Amino acid sequence: MIILSSVYRSLVAVGDRHVPSKFRALWEHPAGPKTVHFWAPCAKWALVIAGLGDLSRPAEKLSLYQSFALASTGAIWARYSLVIIPKNYSLFTVNLFVFLTGATQLSRALHYKYTKGPSSQAVVTSQGTSPPATK
């Protein structure tokens, strides 16, 4: 950790010398690139990318609990990012997208669960699995 800290401090020192004056306000901002408040939301975009990748996954393979957790945490942290000081709009944006992808997957999973009732599920018997019932 000490080595990474010194590397990070060295990179910031180089950035301090080379950041153009028109970007200086962003560079020095309390939620700017010199802080964890900038890098944590950047890393969280991986959750959004994973959620978008799951859009092609069949609805029966989606987890209701995982989708609910993503939607819930996205909503909670999006709200939080607007009440803290300083307001962190990059955190708000990424959590809004986490909420949207989680809510989309949750709605797909719920739609599948409630439109495909027990009658369409295969029944396991002592002889094996029977085919789904037809309507």
Specify the pLDDT at position 130: 56
Specify the pLDDT at position 121: 53
User: Residue 45 belongs to what H/E stretch?
Assistant: helix 36-53
Specify the pLDDT at position 39: 78
Residue 108 CA to residue 62 CA, distance in Å, equals: 8
CB 95 within 8 A of CB 74: yes
**Neighbour-count burial of 48, counting CB atoms closer than 10 A to its CB (0-12 exposed, 13-18 middle, 19+ buried):** buried
Spacing of C-alpha 14 from chain mean position:
32
Helix (H/G/I), strand (E/B), else coil: 128: strand
| Reported pTM | 0.67
Specify the pLDDT at position 22: 86
Each residue's pLDDT expressed in tens, for the chain with a length of 135 residues: 677 778 877 888 888 888 888 888 877 777 777 776 777 888 899 989 998 999 999 999 999 999 999 999 999 999 999 998 888 888 999 999 999 999 999 999 999 999 985 555 554 455 555 556 565
Where do the domains of the chain lie, and which CATH numbers do they carry? 40-114 (1.20.1280)
State the DSSP string of 83-125. Answer: HSSS--HHHHHHHHHHHHHHHHHHHHHHHHHHHS-GGGSPPEE
Specify the pLDDT at position 41: 85
CB 56 within 8 A of CB 50: no
